Amino acid sequence: MLSRIALLEAQIIGYGASGRNGGFNMTPFGLTMGIARLRFGRSAAREAHLYMERAVDTTRELIGSRELDCDYYHPGFLRVATSPSYKKRMRFSL
């Protein structure tokens, strides 16, 4: 399958929006699980997280099945508490 891709940029390529994405593909979606639970409920927060997990898996599968040469690397995701208060927030978000 032949695809055409156009990258539009107001300045040179990499100047604006095309240069801002570090290529991250991960599950956090802007809210901690604790905040998402408080705002949307436990079930909706869990569904959102599972959706993001599937999105990461789908990206990896598409890159593999289409043999895309894009230096994809999937190291996983590790969140570490760096203070007692952050440890408390992390426990709340589980």
Degrees (nearest 5) of the Cα angle 74, 79, 85? 170
From the CB of residue 50, how many other CB atoms can be counted at a distance below 10 Å?
A: 11
Residues 22, 52: Cα–Cα separation, whole Å: 18
pLDDT tens for the chain, 94 residues long, are 677 877 777 777 666 665 666 667 777 777 888 888 889 999 998 898 899 889 889 999 999 999 988 878 888 778 888 999 988 888 877 6
Specify the pLDDT at position 71. Answer: 78
Which pTM does this prediction carry? Answer: 0.62
Specify the pLDDT at position 90. Answer: 80
Specify the pLDDT at position 23. Answer: 65
Query: CA torsion sign, 21 to 23 to 25 to 27?
Result: negative
Residues 64, 73: Cα–Cα separation, whole Å: 11
Specify the pLDDT at position 58. Answer: 93
